[in-house]
Amino acid sequence: MPRENLPPRSSIPIRGNPPDLLKLKGECPFLTRCNKARAACRQEPMPPLEEVSPGHFLACFNPIRHDWA
């Protein structure tokens, strides 16, 4: 997400393609493309959506930590 208080920088896409939205398996849709996946990502259903700061949500068992404010 672009931030007004930080200098502009390029986004680095992850490898692979998005999943077929008509064939979602009930697991994290990034599982086959994510280099941060851990056991919970393979064993649990879709991670729950959590609000990490007012109006900002994420659903990940191993999110990158930074200032969400």
The contact set with ligand SF4 (CB under 6 A) reads 28, 30-31, 34, 36-37, 41, 47, 60-62
Judged by CB, which is closer to ligand SF4: 25, or 36? 36
Judged by CB, which is closer to ligand SF4: 36, or 53? 36
Q: SS3 for 32?
A: helix
Cβ neighbours of residue 29 closer than 8 Å, sequence gap 6 or more: 18, 19, 46
Judged by CB, which is closer to ligand SF4: 52, or 60? 60
Which residue stretches of 1-69 are H helix? Answer: 39-43
Q: How many CB atoms lie within 10 A of CB 30?
A: 18
